[in-house]
């Protein structure tokens, strides 16, 4: 059983690793060290500077709408207050009291509002459940959610500020106008890289040590003692050949979790979302104004089901003029040999910075993104996309996180993973519940986050598909630079005559 004197190693400096380290350190654990192959103390989680984990990103959606999942809804409401408190801490700090990469004008959570949209006249069942659950359990937040084309709701919204009505109708042209939905004006976006940078700063203030960079911060293997009936993890070996001993090793490595813990391949799977970036020229002040966070919400749009399911999203423009769009309707995989377990094939992230780098995305997702965006924002047709990214998430068998001791290791190995594309918003608060699981203190999340594996004959959220699936990137067509354009040369010529 861990105590405040236990030596704890955390593998992974993203959201799960940071929130765990912060709550452990602030709770009196005095020997916590985070290892990561990325040099976060120099690149500040910038995705353009060698960072390829899902946590290292421009921005993420903050939402409290969670269908009928009251547990996550309430956790998001609590996290919102903490995000706003972090905003206040930054604003009220002296410049020299903040970490490099953050200034007093920065806000980590921007309340831009968020639109949740779907095709047809009727709200998607998930959105209906979100509104009903909020009405029943948090009516003060439900009053800040407004249904599109509902006369009473739009009148209420206009009484608050006409800008919110314009935001509610910002996506009217998507799907040929066949769209419904609602907007939550207390939701918004988080600046992901800055948020992680600030969280790491808070960790250091609380006494957490960081060993960062390749090879010194990159794990090579777990050190496993086979002398007992149950194996024990005694620490880790890093790529520089050094041994680091610990009483408890926590693997919070996101989509690389299965590469470190072979048993985890039946619990979580690395899957890639398709992300595209558009850069708006500085002289187009009209577009900067239209897509500015003050005037434009974050948004998501759902359409279809099964193999034809589409779920796309978009963000307001950044200060630098970049707009992020994404597709997560089909979550792609990349099967490779396991690095330490002979004969085992697992889905493994492939990014711009891996040994076999990739600078593009599957054409399937890109084509669907373009199809919807060309309808929604025809004024952007001339620009096309400048850059792409495969954002590697860690899907669990049921989209609940996996935060538990790994069976068979005498409570010396713990994993904190399975974000399933919806964990970033909980950065300030998730560690409290991780600490409970480490200390074997039962709370509302204990049964949800327990270790579990795929079950034959059941829906396992794609984990049973294997490498013969249509999702495996090894066998599918990838986009080239011409595909990044929104219009062909022929279409551009027609537009000129």
Spans of all domains in the chain: 1-113+187-496
Under 8 Å between Cβ of 345 and 338: yes
The secondary structure of residue 337, as a DSSP letter, is E
CB atoms within 10 A of CB 440: 11
Helix (H, G, I), strand (E, B) or coil at 203: helix
| Residue-wise pLDDT tens digits, 359-388 | 999 999 999 999 999 999 999 999 999 999
The pTM score is 0.96
Confidence class for position 497, pLDDT limits 50, 70, 90 = very low
Query: Over 90: is that where the pLDDT of 286 sits?
Result: yes
- Measured at the CA of 399, the angle between CA 393 and CA 400, to 5 degrees, comes to 110
Averaged pLDDT, 74-86: 98
Please give the Cα distance from 111 to 84 (Å, whole number). Answer: 10
| Residue-wise pLDDT tens digits, 422-457 | 999 999 999 999 999 999 999 999 999 999 999 988
Query: Over 80: is that where the pLDDT of 155 sits?
Result: yes
Confidence class for position 30, pLDDT limits 50, 70, 90 = very high
Please give the Cα distance from 378 to 336 (Å, whole number). Answer: 40
Please give the Cα distance from 35 to 9 (Å, whole number). Answer: 7
pLDDT for 122: 93
pLDDT for 306: 86
Under 8 Å between Cβ of 129 and 142: no
Under 8 Å between Cβ of 46 and 56: yes
Query: What are the residue ranges of helices labelled H in 49-191?
Result: 70-91, 125-137, 139-142, 151-160, 162-168
Confidence class for position 487, pLDDT limits 50, 70, 90 = confident
Please give the Cα distance from 382 to 371 (Å, whole number). Answer: 14
Helix (H, G, I), strand (E, B) or coil at 343: coil
Under 8 Å between Cβ of 34 and 21: yes
pLDDT for 494: 41
| Residue-wise pLDDT tens digits, 300-345 | 999 998 888 999 999 999 999 999 999 999 999 999 999 999 999 9
- Measured at the CA of 13, the angle between CA 260 and CA 199, to 5 degrees, comes to 160
pLDDT for 178: 97
Helix (H, G, I), strand (E, B) or coil at 40: helix
Averaged pLDDT, 146-157: 96
Mean of pLDDT over the chain = 95
Please give the Cα distance from 191 to 152 (Å, whole number). Answer: 33
pLDDT for 475: 84
Strands 268-279 and 335-337: unpaired
Under 8 Å between Cβ of 402 and 409: no
CATH of domain 1-113+187-496: 3.50.50.60
Averaged pLDDT, 406-420: 96
Helix (H, G, I), strand (E, B) or coil at 395: strand
> Which has the closest alpha carbon to 427: 111, 193, 262, 208?
193
pLDDT for 249: 98
Averaged pLDDT, 198-221: 98
| Residue-wise pLDDT tens digits, 217-272 | 999 999 999 876 779 999 999 999 999 999 999 999 999 999 999 999 999 999 99
Please give the Cα distance from 403 to 391 (Å, whole number). Answer: 22
pLDDT for 491: 54
């Amino acid at each position: 059983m861990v105590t405040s004197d236990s030596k704890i190693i955390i593998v992974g400096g993203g959201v799960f690793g940071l929130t765990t380290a912060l709550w452990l350190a602030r709770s009196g654990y005095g020997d916590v060290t985070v290892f990561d192959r990325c040099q976060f103390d120099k690149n500040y989680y910038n995705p353009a500077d060698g960072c390829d984990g899902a946590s290292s990103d421009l921005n993420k959606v903050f939402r409290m709408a969670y269908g009928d999942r009251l547990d996550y809804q309430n956790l998001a409401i609590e996290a919102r207050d903490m995000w706003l408190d972090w905003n206040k801490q930054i604003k009220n700090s002296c410049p020299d009291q903040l970490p490099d990469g953050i200034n007093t004008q920065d806000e980590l959570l921007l309340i831009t509002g968020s639109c949740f949209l779907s095709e047809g006249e009727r709200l998607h069942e998930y959105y209906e459940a979100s509104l009903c659950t909020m009405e029943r359990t948090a009516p003060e937040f439900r009053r800040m959610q407004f249904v599109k084309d509902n006369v009473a709701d739009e009148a209420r919204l206009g009484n608050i500020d006409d800008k919110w009505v314009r935001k509610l109708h910002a996506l009217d042209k998507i799907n040929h106008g066949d769209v419904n939905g609602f907007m939550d004006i207390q939701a918004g976006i988080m600046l992901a890289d800055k948020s992680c940078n600030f969280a790491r700063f808070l960790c250091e203030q609380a006494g957490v040590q960081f060993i960062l960079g390749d090879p010194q911060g990159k794990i090579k293997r777990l050190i496993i003692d086979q002398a007992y009936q149950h194996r024990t993890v005694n620490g880790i070996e890093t790529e520089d050949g050094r041994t680091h001993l610990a009483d408890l090793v926590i693997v919070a490595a996101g989509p690389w979790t299965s590469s470190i813990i072979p048993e985890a391949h039946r619990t979580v799977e690395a899957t890639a979302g398709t992300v595209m970036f558009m850069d708006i020229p500085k002289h187009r002040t009209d577009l900067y104004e239209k897509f500015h966070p003050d005037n434009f919400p974050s948004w998501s749009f759902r359409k279809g089901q099964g193999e034809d399911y589409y779920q796309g999203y978009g963000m307001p423009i950044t200060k630098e003029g970049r707009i992020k769009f994404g597709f997560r309707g089909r979550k792609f995989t990349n099967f490779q040999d396991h690095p330490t377990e002979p004969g085992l094939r697992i889905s493994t992230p492939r990014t711009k910075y891996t040994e076999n780098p990739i600078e593009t995305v599957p054409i399937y997702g890109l084509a669907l993104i373009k199809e919807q965006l060309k309808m929604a924002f025809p004024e952007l047709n001339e620009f096309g996309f400048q850059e792409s990214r495969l954002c590697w998430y860690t899907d669990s068998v049921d989209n609940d996180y996996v935060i538990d001791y790994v069976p068979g290791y005498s409570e010396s190995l713990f994993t904190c993973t399975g974000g399933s594309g919806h964990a970033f918003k909980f950065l300030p608060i998730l560690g409290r519940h991780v600490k409970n699981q480490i200390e074997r203190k039962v709370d509302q999340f204990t049964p949800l986050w327990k270790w579990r594996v795929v079950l034959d004959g059941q829906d396992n959220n794609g984990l049973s598909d294997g490498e013969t699936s249509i999702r495996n990137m090894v066998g599918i067509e990838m986009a080239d630079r011409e595909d990044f354009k929104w219009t062909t040369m022929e279409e551009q010529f027609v537009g000129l005559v």
